[in-house]
Chains A and B, each alone.
Chain A
Amino acid sequence: MGVIETRNVTYTYPGAAKPSIVDVSLNIEKGEFTLITGPSGCGKTTICRCFNGLIPHFYQGEMKGETIVAGLNVSEHPIYELAKHVGLVFQNPENQLFALSVEKDVAFGLENLGVPREEMRKRVDWALNLTEMYDLRERAPSELSGGQQQRVAIASVLAMQPEVVILDEPTSFLDPLSAKKIFEVIRDLNRKLGITVVLVEHRLDLTARYADHIIVMDEGKVALDGDPHEILRSEEARLIGIGIPKATRLYQILKKDGLKLGNTIPLSSEEMASMLTEALKDG
């Protein structure tokens, strides 16, 4: 059984005319880096709220089906208990930060878990260094820029070192180089500590290369689910309108032109460049 499993989950927000997610069944294995993507309003954020119990505990509404995370049925366990296993970085960092200093925000979750002081200090500093926020640790989060707030939100989840980290467009306010660095930090934690990562993103140009598993949602349903190379190769993915990385797009166009290129579809510019280098050599 995966670390996250949903069985036929359908959920309707209070007052909404129709469900935001419909009959979603998916399975995410421990240690995987999973990318969830799909058109705006397709239910990506809603499914993430199921993974940490915000649905059904915080958002009322009507839920059918089951979500099992780290062996716990989220309907039967309160949010604070789930929080030991699952950390969620929200789309909008302002919804997450509230303490008077960056440091206190990052320490908050650890205090709640009753982590000893020494250990807490160590983990807070570690998370602040990873996200390059250590020098700003005494500033008030409300005074920071959107990008800096996103770093704090990420740090406060990483400090908890949960088994599963869910990130909902976590770097949208960051400049491209900073975003790339953050994704690399997350990738390293995924590889070295075996933390399961679920990332919600539209920008596959930046993120497809990190994924072991891609789930494409469309109109509240799981439309595609599988290996990144297979998914990005598929005609369905293009039709749903997900942003195929430009390197992948160029590969597809050149293949259609009859160019001899390798069969593994590239997900990054480096992969595409080395394929083209081969082709240009052989010519």
Chain B
Amino acid sequence: MIVVKDVHFTYPNGIEALKGISLTVQNGEFVAIMGQNGAGKTTLVKQFNGLLKPTKGTVLVDDVGTTKVSVATLARNVGFVFQNPDHQLFSESVEEEIAFALRNFGFKETVTKKRVTWALNLLGLTQYRKTSPFMLSGGERKRVALASILAWNPRILILDEPTIGQDYQQKEKLRQFILQMRTQRKTVIIVTHDVEFVAECNPRVLLMRDGQIIADGEATETLTDTEVLTKASIVPPQIAQIFLHLPNMKLPKNVIDVYEAREILLKTLERKSK
């Protein structure tokens, strides 16, 4: 569980990136953090694994303050995948990249091998086992970065813009994987601009603007609230946009899913034709 209490954070250059954030993320929750560029999303999630420590306020991860433990200790439980994979990758082969952290954590070589194979397979990277990460496409490098974190099976997973450069099928695999993590009571926190991905996953959504959380709730509520979305510099998902444009026929406005949209529209038309 992550408990954030009135956290403020100011960078050394004087920029105040977080202005009083309070928030609890339960074990097994799936949270999407969205909002304007520069709203403080990445700064906030970096507090969760101790990469940044609050200037004021506290962050507790499983009841322990992040100022009390090292990033290395936290990392065992909190896996963090960066926005830009090039900030993370450095090994000569994909396989080495994934094995690196496992060896650091002291896993046995047999376990390391098994885990590497599992992660390669999960992210569709098996054919690149011996390839240099720098030979791969942007989307593929992103998946290597993700594989190298998933391999050590952290209990809390933080993904900064996981869908960049990913095609539809990769996104669908990611969605399935996140659902699977949830069934194991693992916590998944994503920072993303990908409204359509969030609409398909239907997580708890936090909207941020200017260092503060301006909305916190179900995706069906937050992603259809045009006023708060505009403040957060987010465009509603396409299905929501369609319903917002439709004439007022007592149609619900909080629809983000294609199949739900279909049912509502068919029912409405049936009613009318009677």
What residues make up the interface of A, taking CB atoms closer than 8 Å to B?
Answer: 13, 15-16, 38-41, 45, 91-92, 94, 145-148, 169, 172-180, 202-203, 205, 241-247, 249-250, 253-254, 257, 259, 268-270, 272-274, 276-277, 279-281, 283
When A246-B196, A280-B247 are in contact, do A40 and B166 touch as well, CB less than 8 Å?
yes
Q: Apart from A146-B84, A254-B265, what are 9 other A-B pairs with CB-CB below 8 Å?
A: A40-B170, A45-B137, A91-B165, A92-B86, A169-B165, A175-B233, A177-B233, A250-B258, A253-B262
A256 — nearest CB in chain B belongs to which residue?
A: B262
Name the CB-closest residue of A to B239.
A246
13 A-B pairs, CB-CB below 8 angstroms? A40-B137, A40-B166, A40-B167, A45-B137, A169-B164, A173-B37, A173-B83, A245-B238, A250-B242, A253-B258, A273-B246, A277-B247, A281-B247
Contacts of A175 in B (CB 8 A): 34-37, 193, 232-234
Tell me whether A280 and B272 are in contact (CB under 8 A): yes
Describe B's contact surface by its main secondary structure. helix
Given the known interface contacts A15-B135, A276-B242, A283-B269, the answer about A254 and B262 at a Cβ–Cβ threshold of 8 Å is: yes
- Give the A-B contact count at a CB cut-off of 8 A: 152
Q: Is the CB of A269 within 8 A of B242?
A: yes
User: B193: which of A179, A202, A259, A280 is its contact (CB, 8 Å)?
Assistant: A179
Which chain B residues (139-189) contact chain A, with CB distance < 8 Å?
Answer: 139-140, 143, 161, 164-171
**Contact-residue size bin, chain B (C-beta under 8 Å from the other chain):** 35 or more
Of the residues A147, A178, A269, A279, contact of B241 by C-beta under 8 Å: A269
Determine the chain B residues whose CB is within 8 A of the CB of A269 once the complex forms.
238-239, 241-242, 245
Known: A176-B234, A280-B272. A250 touches B135 (CB 8 A): no
A202-B165, A273-B241 in contact; A40/B140 too (CB < 8 A)?
Answer: yes
Tell me how far the C-beta of B16 lies from the nearest C-beta in chain A, rounded to whole angstroms: 15
Residues of A within 8 A of B165 (CB): 40, 91, 169, 172, 202
